[in-house]
């Protein structure tokens, strides 16, 4: 429970913007949020856990990272243009991979316990990692639940202008990842919210 709560607390920290900005883009861009949110959380948790365990060693810079940014722009445009679950899922998976790959967390007590233990016993830290991520993305879970609980509200959220804002966020994230400036954007937002 403490791990889940620490995930929620982390929403307010600048370090989490790298995860939260693309998540906001997905939630605005995508339809089928009750599908996309679990996909986002599971994918993001897996990549984070692989990194914690030391099994994902790719630096979040260089050619692969830049290419993934370009691909994110293409997939976001496809998801905006087409109305199918595959395009929505593809941009969600790639967005979550990039976000978790780029993320450098500020580490509290519970996440610290996960990180310290993951080096010697990674399998035991998979579920705690998911619990932390569910906490961090609990606003997305709420929005996904809102889709089902209040379908009329969900229809309004799928207004073309709202989806275009989502597309703009994803294109911006993809372009900044491609030119390795995504961290700087998160930094600027953090600075503006800190001073």
Contacting residues toward other proteins, per CB under 8 A: 1-2, 4-6, 8-9, 12-15, 34, 51-52, 54, 56-60, 101, 104-109, 111-113, 115-116, 135, 138-139, 141-142, 145-149, 183-184, 186-188, 190-191, 194-195
Q: How many whole angstroms separate alpha carbon 7 and alpha carbon 160?
A: 32
The secondary structure of 108-119 as a DSSP string is -HHHHHHHHHHT
Smallest separation (angstroms) from other proteins to the CB of 14: 6
Burial of 108 (0-12, 13-18, 19+ CB in 10 A): middle
Smallest separation (angstroms) from other proteins to the CB of 94: 18
**Contact by Cβ (8 Å): 80, 28:** no
Q: Which two tokens stand for residue 187?
A: 């930094």
55 versus 82: smaller Cβ distance to other proteins: 55
126 versus 146: smaller Cβ distance to other proteins: 146
127 versus 148: smaller Cβ distance to other proteins: 148
Helix, strand, or coil (residue 30) = coil
5 versus 162: smaller Cβ distance to other proteins: 5
């Amino acid at each position: 429970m403490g791990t889940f709560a620490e995930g929620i607390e982390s929403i307010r920290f600048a370090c989490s913007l790298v995860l939260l900005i693309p998540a906001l883009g997905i939630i605005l861009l995508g339809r089928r949020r009750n599908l996309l949110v679990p996909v986002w959380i599971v994918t993001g948790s897996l990549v984070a856990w692989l990194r914690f365990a030391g099994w994902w060693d790719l630096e979040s810079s260089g050619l692969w990272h830049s290419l993934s940014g370009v691909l994110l722009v293409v997939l976001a445009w496809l998801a905006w243009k087409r109305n199918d679950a595959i395009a929505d899922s593809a941009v969600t998976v790639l967005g979550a991979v990039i976000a978790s790959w780029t993320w450098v967390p500020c580490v509290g007590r519970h996440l610290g316990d996960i990180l310290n233990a993951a080096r010697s016993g990674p399998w035991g830290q998979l579920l705690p990692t998911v619990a932390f991520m569910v906490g961090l993305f609990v606003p997305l879970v709420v929005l996904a639940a809102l889709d089902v609980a209040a379908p009329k509200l969900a229809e309004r959220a799928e207004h073309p202008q709202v989806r275009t804002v989502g597309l703009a966020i994803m294109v911006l994230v993809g372009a900044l990842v491609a030119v390795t400036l995504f961290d700087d954007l998160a930094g600027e937002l953090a600075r503006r919210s800190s001073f």
